Amino acid sequence: MRFTLSVWRFASSAFTVSFDPRNILVIDFGQLGDVVLSLPALQAIRTRFPHARVTVAVGRAAAPVVEMSGHADETLAVDRVGLRDGPKTLSLWQIMGLVRNVRRSKYDFVIDLHSLSETNLLGYLSGAHHRLFSRRPGRSLDFLSKFRERPPVEDRTKHAVDRYLDVLAPLGVGKISRVPRLRPRDEDNQHVEQLLRKARAESDAPLVGIFPGAGHASRRWPVERFGELARRLESNDGVRVVLFAGPEEHAMLTEVRAQFPPSTIVFDRLTVPQLAAAQARLAVFVSNDTGPMHIAAAVGTPVVILMATHPMLKCYVPPGNRHRVIHGRDIMNISVDDAYAATRAVLTAERMGSIFSR
């Protein structure tokens, strides 16, 4: 499956913003992949209000993504999972502290990109005179927003990038690239370079990244198939495999290691910025449908995505034409042959592109 690059357009003459905000709070409480897909919207806000101070309230795990993007002056990292699933008394205390913090900052404009009832309430309690919220039927509290023009009601058939940009339609932001972009930092590049030297990674061998984890078992391709894919790539294509694992994969790491070739490089203790730096060095990244897959795409690495067929499939695939999606009725229907063919096709395309760019 191929996806083409495009630009989001909005007729900036349609609406006129009659105020000049100087202290903006953007609420962006999606999961890691959602926050990556919201980066074009954050860029649009930064571009539309170049002289304003922009603070992004974001889940703690995704805060480094916003920081790397350069689209915010400050991040307000929130333990969104703890607030949702933690002890009620503690959650209430933390919410009260968050509200106090937000009110002290005296924001004059709040934009809620993700719009849940609780985040809309936070925007209302901020005291900001102008409030622009995503309109999500059954989830948002539209009566708490306060903006002259309203964004379109969320269209679930649209790509997530476009849904975030639609929230900003009343601002007349103009042409914006739909492709999320992240640039690894120098210190993280240096850290990854040291790890690769320690692993004796050959400079002329392409690096292929594999991420076998996923947030839910139904989205997790079997570990043994990932292992078989790694062995084929190593024996047939002269690559070096890099296995990535996050905190959620530590419990399965012993099993995973046993399935992969002995020469596999294992990166299991990287921060999010270090993960981005490592992914930027890959020829291709093979993954289940996860947040790390979106980070790989954002640093410019082509991805091969293994996922079950779903009506919303196209709405969350990274924009761009270098990526491949392999899908079946469910994740178990995807064969190693399918994954290998797609990965090899990407490797071949990247090698040919490198030859012609010389």
The pLDDT of residue 134: 96
Domains, in order of start, for the chain: 7-177 (3.40.50.2000), 186-356 (3.40.50.2000)
For residue 2, the model assigns a pLDDT of 42
Instruction: Give every CB contact of residue 19 below 8 A, 6+ residues apart in sequence.
Output: 108, 109, 130
- In sequence order, what are the beta bridge partners of 78? 59
Per-residue pLDDT of the chain (358 residues), as tens digits, is 444 445 555 544 344 567 889 999 999 998 999 999 999 999 999 999 999 999 999 999 999 999 999 999 999 998 866 666 666 666 667 778 889 999 999 999 999 998 988 889 999 999 999 999 999 999 889 999 999 899 999 999 999 999 999 999 999 887 889 999 999 999 999 999 999 999 988 667 899 999 998 877 788 999 999 999 999 999 999 999 999 998 888 888 888 889 999 999 999 999 999 999 999 999 999 999 999 999 999 999 999 999 988 767 788 999 988 899 998 888 999 999 999 999 999 998 876 655 445 4
CA 29, CA 113: separation in Å to the nearest integer? 8
What pLDDT was estimated at residue 84? 60
- Nearest partner of 64 among 279, 272, 267, judged by Cα: 272
Q: What is the pTM of this model?
A: 0.90
Q: What is the pLDDT of residue 193?
A: 95
Give the Å distances, CA to CA, from 223 to 168, 227, 258, 260, 277.
41, 6, 10, 9, 25
- Could you identify the residue written with the tokens 């350069």? 70
pLDDT for res 355: 47
Residues in the chain: 358
* Ramachandran quadrant class, 17 (left: phi over 0; alpha: psi -120 to 50; beta: rest): beta
Dist CA 249 CA 256 (whole Å): 9
- The answer to whether 27 and 59 have CB atoms below 8 angstroms apart is no
Listing from the earlier edge strand, what are the strands of the sheet with 207-211?
A: 265-267, 240-244, 207-211, 284-288, 303-308, 324-328
Give every CB contact of residue 326 below 8 A, 6+ residues apart in sequence: 304, 305, 306, 307, 334, 338, 339, 342
